[in-house]
Structure 1
Amino acid sequence: MKELPNVEVQMVDYTWKLPFLQQLQLTHNSDIFMSIHGSGLTHLLFLPDWAAVFEIYNCDDSNCYWDLARLRGVKYFTWQKQELLWSDSVGRHPTRPEEEHKKFTNYGFDKTEFIRIVKQMIDYVRRNPKFVAKQRKLRRLQKDKENLKTEL
């Protein structure tokens, strides 16, 4: 993803080590938010209005974060081509190890398909009228700032 033009990629580990206010700030300043299924995806509530969220794999809980994204008003993406997603082992529930559990499995995925979905998300964000308006406002503010420096 780092090779995509005009895209800044940041990997964030939302744990207790990262103060909650910093988590909110990072999320609110993200146009695209992606994660595998898990409680960290609830941060999508703090995304900007034009954002897109990518639940890389929904672990057979297909409506959970889709519904949250819909209620928040951000665009939801998830993996569609299941044959391009695989697990390297059987996941086990942490408190009931005798139970297989998709939410506790390590997954791999096809990089080409992943990038295709990310490009769709980038296109969605860049075409979103709210994003376009925000970018215009930021450019005007930058231009005003430069003009003020020139006048001084």
Structure 2
Amino acid sequence: MTPLLNATNSLKNVEAKVVVYDKKIKFLDQLKITHNSDIFIGMHGAGLTHLLFLPDWAAVFELYNCDDVHCYYDLSRLRGVKYWTWKKEELVIPEKEGIHPTLGTPHKKFTNYSFDVTEFIRIVKQMIEYVRRHPQFVEEQRKLRRQIKAEL
């Protein structure tokens, strides 16, 4: 994850961080973190359900949908946030074939992957552009600037 995180943080006016939603973070704090995220990136899995708590202008990037194409696309659509997923499968590199814990057979959802950094950043830049042009984001930025001026 470090190469992707470093590449993202090298973009102008972008702050990216890795958050592990587990029992160490209170659920209310998880919701606050999510609600204050403009772009939400994650692997296919239950953690992506946090997209329900994103702001209206947010964008979701399901890094790899593991051939379950509609799951988080549909949830994003129902929530009203923009969805992206990895399209160029040849740029997704499985590290080792994952084995389903119950079935004992190979399964994409239990495999670790590496991703092409250039392609990742290309997609993230599209998402940044989408968020920055979203009318609700623009309005919230105006409100924030007015609030900051009023406090000075």
Q: What's the % identity of the aligned pairs?
A: 66
Q: Which residue is 1:39 aligned to? A: 46
The answer for unaligned runs of 5 or more in structure 1 is 147-152
Q: Which residue is 2:99 aligned to? A: 92
> Normalising by the residue count of structure 2, what TM-score does the alignment of the two structures yield?
0.93
- Please give the alpha-carbon distance, in whole angstroms, between the structure 1 residues aligned to 2:41 and 2:95: 21
Give the counterpart of 2:122 among 100, 107, 116.
116
> Is residue 7 of structure 1 aligned with residue 14 of structure 2?
yes
Q: Which residue is 1:83 aligned to? A: 90
- 3-state SS of the aligned residue for 1:48? coil
- Please give the alpha-carbon distance, in whole angstroms, between the structure 2 residues aligned to 1:27 and 1:93: 29
> Is residue 143 of structure 1 aligned with residue 149 of structure 2?
yes
- Please give the alpha-carbon distance, in whole angstroms, between the structure 2 residues aligned to 1:32 and 1:55: 11
Q: Which residue is 1:19 aligned to? A: 26
Q: CA deviation at 1:82?
A: 0.7
Moved beyond 6 Å, runs of 4+: none
| Higher relative contact order, structure no. (Cα contacts within 8 Å, ≥ 6 residues apart) | 2
Read off the aligned partner of 2:63 and give its amino acid letter. I
| CA RMSD across the alignment | 0.7
Q: Which residue is 2:57 aligned to? A: 50
> Normalising by the residue count of structure 1, what TM-score does the alignment of the two structures yield?
0.93
Larger Rg: 1
- Please give the alpha-carbon distance, in whole angstroms, between the structure 2 residues aligned to 1:74 and 1:55: 13
- Please give the alpha-carbon distance, in whole angstroms, between the structure 1 residues aligned to 2:38 and 2:95: 31
C-alpha offsets along residues 103-126 of structure 1, whole Å, 9 cap, x if unaligned?
000101110000000000000000
